[in-house]
Structure 1
Amino acid sequence: MVLQDRAKATRGAIVVGAAAVFEEHGYGSASLTQVSEAAGVTKGALYFHFQSKEDLARAVIEEQHRIVVAESESILAGDWPGLTAMILLCRAFGLQLVHEPVVRAGIRLTFEATAFGPPVRGPYEDWIAVMEQLTERAKAELQVRPSIDAGTFARYLVASFTGVQMVSGVLTDRADVMQRIEEMWEIVLPGIMHDDFNEDPHALSGLVSTGSLSPTGIRTPLAP
């Protein structure tokens, strides 16, 4: 058991070290020597867990997806209305991009995946599926117009978020990503909100930066 725990800790350290290297240098310029130094392990230990740089890149992408899914599941378990849940999911993902190096590295690697294999589709397909389900829920809750096609909107929303965070990364190293996500929702909400839904679009988009409405309707702060 002690050896297993030690092996897991070593593997985890390697993934974190690899994420730091991939985030800074990208897949093409990263080296296994840089990874072993960043992780504080020998090359022998690195090769014990990972046979190649491709294996490392895939492990970082998998860990990034695991982190995002875990946070998403905690939000989805909160019984939020559909539209609120979508906004909170975008907020959570944005905060992870700010605070989680593994998430930033994983996102970069998904765009560079053709350098070491086929395009990475799974995380995007999963995210689109969740947003489609939440859009259907929001329609049933009379938050979103019945004319909105859930699949079309889900694909558009994921593409919009991806573009917003990418441009923020290029221009400000994501220093303004939360503001840009909020602006995205400010533009989107008036076009999709149901006529009988009386919530202020500006207040809803403000959930990205200021907090959340609890399932009982009481505004409570969300930890950054």
Structure 2
Amino acid sequence: MTQQARAVETRAAIIRAAADVFGDLGYGGASMADICLAAGLTKGALYFHFASKDALALAVIDAQHERALALGDELLHSEQPGLQVLLRMAFELGRQVRDDPVSRAGIRLTMESSNLSTPVVTPYEDWMAACEVLLQRAIRDGDVRADVDVAAAAHFISPAFTGVQVVSGVLTGRADLVQRLVEMWSFVLPSLVVPDQWERLSALPEEMAAAWG
């Protein structure tokens, strides 16, 4: 293995170890010493790759955002109807947060980003933009009402998802996250769906839970 390849591998291992620590303790509770211990590295080796806890936290957020972007890019370019894709994205993101330590830590750090030197807004903006695109597609599909304010809906759905996963994390360690997402969408969908299509689309949350839970 070349020196460059080893450096890349070490950096990735540090991010994984940091995600475990940040995910358990949050930004304020974690220390570089904790992360050194989790990564099995000396402080010198850790600081060679990351100059500060702030830089390491931002790297974890970036890694989580890359995972979400990869998912979003795949789904946005699929040929499925917009409403199905929107729900599928929400449930798959929920699965990532529940099952993947880097995704879980990245989400927690994003919510704690007031502690960081750099404001973290891009993940929220990208998620809301994707919601708008998919809602507009769903209107063209004839599934969502043409009078829906897609920007307002996107600005509601994104924080609703954030709140649902946070409370699920606090109460059950996200063990019930899929069911909480089913409930969220069961309340949201009636405000979006064309009445004539409700019978066909009302089961979407349960179907997505079965497929992606």
1:14 equivalent in alignment to 2:14: yes
CA distance in 2, matches of 1:204, 1:63: 30
Q: CA deviation at 1:104?
A: 0.8
Give unmatched runs, 5+ long, in structure 1.
Answer: 212-221
- Please report how far the alpha carbon of residue 198 of structure 1 lies from its aligned counterpart in structure 2 after TM superposition: 5.3
Which of the two has greater helix per residue? Answer: 2
- Contact kept? 2:179, 2:209, Cα under 8 Å: yes
CA contact (8 A) 1:142 1:196 kept: no
Deviations 1:73-130 (CA, angstroms, capped at 9, x unpaired): 2222321110000000001101001110111111111121111224311100011001
Aligned-pair distance for 1:199? 4.8
Residues 53-88 of structure 1, C-alpha deviation per residue, up to 9 Å, x if partnerless?
Answer: 000000000001001111222222321110000000
Pair 1:27-2:41 in alignment: no
**In the alignment, structure 1 residue 170 sits paired with structure 2 residue 157:** no
Alignment match, 1:99: 99
**Could you tell me whether the CA contact under 8 Å between 1:17 and 1:35 is conserved in 2?**
yes
Any conservation in 2 of the 1:132–1:154 contact (CA below 8 Å)?
yes
Matched ranges for 1:1-224 at <5 A: 2-197=2-197, 199-211=199-211
Tell me, what secondary structure is at the counterpart of 2:203?
helix
Deviations 1:162-220 (A, max 9, x none): 11111111111111001100111111112210134255343211133112xxxxxxxxx
- TM-aligned CA deviation for residue 131 of structure 1: 0.5
Q: Following the alignment from structure 2 to structure 1, what is the Cα–Cα distance between the partners of residues 161 and 201?
A: 18
Output the aligned Cα RMSD: 1.4
Letter of the 1:34 partner, please give it.
D
**Contact 2:139/2:146, CA 8 A, preserved across alignment:** yes
1:64–1:102 contact (8 Å) kept in structure 2: yes
TM-superposition CA deviations, 1:22-56 (whole Å, max 9, x none): 11111112111111111122222211110000000
- Secondary structure, aligned partner of 2:202: helix
Q: Is the 8 A contact 1:90 1:208 kept in 2?
A: no
Deviating runs (4+, > 6 A) in structure 1?
none
Question: Counterpart amino acid of 1:87?
Answer: L
Secondary structure, aligned partner of 2:197: coil
TM, length-normalised to structure 2: 0.95
Determine the structure 2 residue equivalent to 1:219.
none
Partner of 1:103, secondary structure, is: helix
Q: Percent identity, aligned pairs only?
A: 46
C-alpha distance in 1, partners of 2:59/2:17? 12
Give 3-state SS (helix, strand or coil) of 1:51's partner. Answer: coil
Q: Deviations over 1:120-149 (max 9, x none)?
A: 111000110010011111111110001101
Residues 178, 208 of structure 1: 8 Å contact kept: no
Letter matched to residue 48 of structure 1: F
Q: Which runs of 5+ in 2 are unaligned?
A: none
| CA distance in 2 between partners of 1:61 and 1:108 (Å) | 9
